[in-house]
Amino acid sequence: MLVWLGGLPELDLFGLLVEPGMLGAALALLFLVWLLNLYNFMDGLDGIAAIEAISVCLGGALLYWISGAWVHAAVPLLLASAVAGFLFWNWPPARIFMGDAGSGFLGMVLGGLLLQAAWISPELFWSWLILLGVFVVDATWTLLHRMLRGEKWHQAHRSHAYQTAARRFGGHLPVTLAVAAVNLFWLLPWALWVVAGGLSGGVGLLLAYMPLCWLAWAFRAGARE
Q: What is the per-residue pLDDT across 110-121, written as a single tens digit (0 to 9) for each?
A: 999 999 999 999
Alpha-carbon distances of 120 from 67, 71, 74, 141, 224, rounded to whole Å: 10, 11, 15, 29, 42
Q: What is the per-residue pLDDT across 122-169, written as a single tens digit (0 to 9) for each?
A: 899 999 999 999 999 999 999 998 888 888 767 778 899 999 999 999
Tell me the whole-structure pTM to 2 decimals.
Answer: 0.93
Residue 14 within any structural domain of the chain: no
Question: Rounded distance, CA 155 to CA 200, Å?
Answer: 38
pLDDT of residue 15: 64
Residue 27 within any structural domain of the chain: yes
Residue 112 within any structural domain of the chain: yes
pLDDT of residue 19: 73
Residue 88 within any structural domain of the chain: yes
pLDDT of residue 66: 94
Residue 224 within any structural domain of the chain: no
- Count of domains in the chain? 1
Is 12 labelled as part of a ligand binding site?
A: no
Vertex 50: Cα angle to 46 and 52 (nearest 5): 110
Q: What is the per-residue pLDDT across 1-33, written as a single tens digit (0 to 9) for each?
A: 888 888 888 777 766 666 777 788 888 899 999
Residue 3 within any structural domain of the chain: no
pLDDT of residue 158: 86
Q: In terms of Cα–Cα distance, which of 197, 63, 51, 54 is closest to 117?
A: 63
Question: Rounded distance, CA 10 to CA 25, Å?
Answer: 11
Question: Rounded distance, CA 203 to CA 127, Å?
Answer: 11
pLDDT of residue 14: 65
Alpha-carbon distances of 100 from 37, 80, 110, rounded to whole Å: 9, 19, 15
Percent of the chain with pLDDT over 90: 76
- Using DSSP's 3-state secondary structure scheme, residue 20 falls into coil
pLDDT of residue 22: 78
pLDDT of residue 16: 62
pLDDT of residue 163: 95
pLDDT of residue 5: 87
Is 37 labelled as part of a ligand binding site?
A: no
CB 171 within 8 A of CB 158: no
The amino acid at residue 117 is: A
Question: Rounded distance, CA 173 to CA 179, Å?
Answer: 10
Output the average pLDDT for the chain. Answer: 92
Q: Which domain range does residue 170 map to?
A: 20-218
Residue 73 within any structural domain of the chain: yes
Residue 183 within any structural domain of the chain: yes
pLDDT grade, residue 188 (50/70/90)?
very high
Rama region for 224: left / alpha / beta (φ>0; ψ in -120 to 50; rest): beta
**Could you give the angle at which helices 188-195 and 122-131 cross, rounded to 10 degrees?**
180
Q: What is the per-residue pLDDT across 30-49, written as a single tens digit (0 to 9) for each?
A: 999 999 999 999 999 999 99
